[in-house]
Every structure is written in C-alpha cells, then in structure tokens.
Chains A and B, each alone.
Chain A
C-alpha cells in the first residue's frame, strides 16, 4: 500500500471503524494495476487539494459526510421502501445548487471511485472499453460529469481532435471538474440536460450515475437518442436500490434498467453489473443490496428505412 492510501485508510479506521472493515476487504482484494492507477490519481488529487489550500484530510472528511448521509438515507429506505425525494426541484435546491453540500458530496464521490470496489470496477470497465472507440469518436458529450474523473480519462484515451462537452446542472460540479482537469478543450455548459439542445451531433454520450437523478429516466434516454448520431454510442451507469440524498428514481432490479433501455430504442452492446457488497447475488436480492449497472449502447435499427 502506498502512503496516501495507507493514510486514508488509517484515518477512516479511526473515525469510522465499521466502514473501515469494508475498505480493508476492498483494498486487500485489489490488484497491482489498481494500486498503480490509485497512486497516480491520489498523487494528482493531493496536488489539486494543496493548490486549493486543502488537504487529504478535508477530502476524507467529505467522504465520511457523504457516507453519513447515505446511512441516513439507507435507514429511511429500510423504513419506507422508497427514496426520500421524488422531485428534481427538491434535490436541485438541497444538493446541486447548494455549494456546501455539493462540494463535500463531489469530493467524497471522487474518493469513493478508488475506495469502493464497485466504483473502481465501473471505472475499470470504462477505461478498458473506451479505447475501442478511440478512432471513431469526434464529438463527445458527458452528462452530469460531477467531479470530472471519467471525462479526464476520456481525454487521455480518445483522439486529440475530439471535441468535448460537459453538461451539468450544478455550478459546484462544473467548477470542480474545470479545476481538477485543467483542460481548456472541454466546453462546459451549466444546464439541466432536459433543457439542453436537441441537435443530433454527438457520436459518444457518457452518462455515469445520472439516470436515477431524474423524475422520468425514459424521457432522458429518449432525449439522448435524439442527440446521438446514427452510429453513435452511449455509456450509461445507474444503481439499483441505492438510497442517496439526490436519488429520485428507484430501479428495484437490473431487469428494470434493461427494459427501460430497450423501451428508449437502444440496443445493449456490452453490459456489466457490480455488487456493492461482498455477498452472493441471491443474498443481494434478498437484502436489497445495491447493484451498479453499466452498459455501452447503440441505437436499435428499425426495419423501416
């Protein structure tokens, strides 16, 4: 383990021993490639924090605050069987448009990308698959980029001529991604994706963990279908049973997600799902353990031409 990972782990063990058990298992199971990537990321992230007069302890604090929110939401979910909010305006006001909450949430999420097994697995799936599209993609759109980690990788992987656009509804996310990536090539747009243009020009649309943040995910997928070129690709991820301060649409199982994708006129090119706890699939279903679903999609061709 390198120093930064060690430091993060020890700090979390001190402040949140129950959660640290899960991290310990995760860290023990990761391979060398993980440590290489995590070290590179944490090094860059640490420098970014220092430049902004912050420390890794700030990020750890953010991460634990996010976890505390999730615990509260999980308990509420156990009581009601529903997510605590169902309206976009409500979470927009409370989370996306609230700089304090959104800052700790996005920093926490960024760390989770390398601390949670399923988050790292999604990241791994993305950066392993994206090179397949490297020569085809000319115009890349990322919806709800949040901290910007995924698009920062896309810039490294895709052709240098590619145009990059981010649409995010949160000023805090846009600010964070802009500063974290330090890449002048990305065009950042502050907007609700549902109010964004309908021009059919993007040949790659990436949308990680946004589908569960909208009231009508079918409408969002249909909109993406319109914005996508005929041969374009979509990368989408979304979890089942994942109570969180800003989740409003509840997918109860992976089948529901797949059905929605088909209903919106897409075909699944490849897909993966990752359990968020170390249990069997059977137990996961029984205990409503969250599953992270990720897929690459393309438009389904209709017979009528």
Chain B
C-alpha cells in the first residue's frame, strides 16, 4: 500500500474517533498539534487502525511512534507481512 493511501485512511479514522470533520493530518502531525488526541483516544485510534488495516501492533511499536508519518510507515510494514 502507498504511504499516501494509508495517510488518507488514517485521516478518516482520526476524524471519526476524534469527532473532527475538518481534521487534515500530515506525516509531521503529532499529538501536540491535535488537542483531542489524548491517551484515551490514542488507544481507540490504534485499535481502530488495527481493525481497519487487519494488523496487530505491539506496545513497543506503538510507543516508538513520534508522528503520523511513523504510524503510516508502521502500517505499511505490518500489512506487507
């Protein structure tokens, strides 16, 4: 899957969970930029992304994520396995 496709799909997941219709994510976006992206929604986003992309992430992988771009790369790597 292309990174850009993943970004678009993640964007939809974020919009849905954070209830932010106009949210536009970029690879550089971090939790510092999106007020609603907190510890509770973080877990929901992860679980929704796992379901959507049919992957399983480990806690270490999740903790290493610095921004949305990292998340896209992780999804790409995991769904290629």
Q: What are 11 sample pairs from A and B whose C-beta atoms fall under 8 A apart?
A: A17-B30, A17-B31, A18-B42, A22-B38, A68-B59, A68-B63, A74-B43, A75-B43, A75-B57, A76-B59, A287-B40
Q: Say which residue of B31, B44, B58, B62 sits within 8 Å of A21 (CB atoms).
A: B31
Instruction: Indicate if the CB atoms of A75 and B39 lie closer than 8 Å.
Output: no
* A72 interface contact, C-beta 8 A: yes
A18 to B42, CA, bound (A): 8
Which label, helix, strand, loop or mixed, suits the secondary structure of the A interface?
helix
A→B interface (CB under 8 Å): 17-19, 21-22, 68, 71-72, 74-76, 78-79, 277, 279, 287, 289
Bound: A22/B32 CA distance, A: 13
Among A17, A21, A72, A287: residue with most chain B CB under 10 A: A21
Q: Which residues of A contact B63 (CB under 8 A)?
A: 68, 71
Chain B residues with CB under 8 Å of A74's CB are: 43
Whether the pair B44, A18 counts as a contact (CB closer than 8 A) is no
B residues contacting the other copy or chain, number (CB 8 A): 19
Taking a contact as CB atoms under 8 Å apart, the answer to whether A72 and B39 are in contact is no
**Cβ of A289 and Cβ of B40 under 8 Å apart?**
yes
Q: Quick one: which of B19-46 are within 8 Å of A by CB?
A: 30-32, 35, 37-40, 42-44, 46
Beta-carbon nearest neighbor of A19 in chain B: B39
Which of A17, A75, A279 has the most C-beta atoms of chain B within 10 angstroms of its own C-beta? Answer: A75
Contact A75 B59 (CB under 8 A): yes
Of B30, B35, B37, B47, the contact of A78 (CB 8 Å cutoff): B47
Q: Does B77 interact with chain A (Cβ within 8 Å)?
A: no
In the complex, chain A residues whose CB is within 8 Å of the CB of B39: 18-19, 21-22
- Closest Cβ–Cβ distance, residue B17 to chain A (whole Å): 11
Q: Tell me the smallest distance from the CB of A177 to a CB of chain B, in Å.
A: 29
In the assembled complex, which residues on chain A have CB atoms less than 8 Å from the CB atom of B43?
A: 71, 74-75, 78
B52 within 8 A of A: no
Most interface-central of B32, B38, B56 (chain A CB within 10 A): B38
> A279 to B40, Cβ gap below 8 A?
yes
A279 to B40, CA, bound (A): 10
Closest to B32 in A: A17
Q: Is the CB of B59 within 8 A of A18?
A: no
- CB-CB < 8 A to B57: which residues of A? 75
Q: Which residue of A lies closest to B61 (CB)?
A: A75
* Residue contact B62 to A71, C-beta cutoff 8 Å: yes
- A-B contacts besides A75-B43, A75-B58, 6 pairs, CB < 8 Å: A18-B38, A21-B39, A22-B40, A71-B62, A75-B62, A78-B43
| In the complex with contacts A18-B31, A71-B62, A277-B40 CB distance below 8 A | yes
Q: Which of B30, B40, B47 has the most CB of A within 10 A?
A: B40
Contact B59 A71 (CB under 8 A): yes
| Complex contacts, A71 vs chain B, CB 8 Å | 43, 59, 62-63
B18 CB to nearest A CB, Å: 12
Chain A residues near B56 (CB-CB < 8 A):
79
* B63 nearest CB neighbor, chain A only: A68
Question: Distance in Å from the Cβ of A173 to the closest Cβ of chain B?
Answer: 25
Q: Kindly provide the distance from the CB of A67 to the nearest chain B CB, expressed in whole angstroms.
A: 9
Once the chains are docked, how many angstroms separate the CA of A69 from the CA of B53?
25
Bound form: Cα–Cα A17–B29 in Å = 13
Q: How far is the CA of A17 from the CA of B30 in the complex (A)?
A: 9
Q: Which residues of A contact B62 (CB under 8 A)?
A: 71, 75
B44 A287 Cβ-Cβ under 8 A:
yes
Report chain B residues within 8 Å CB of A68.
59, 63
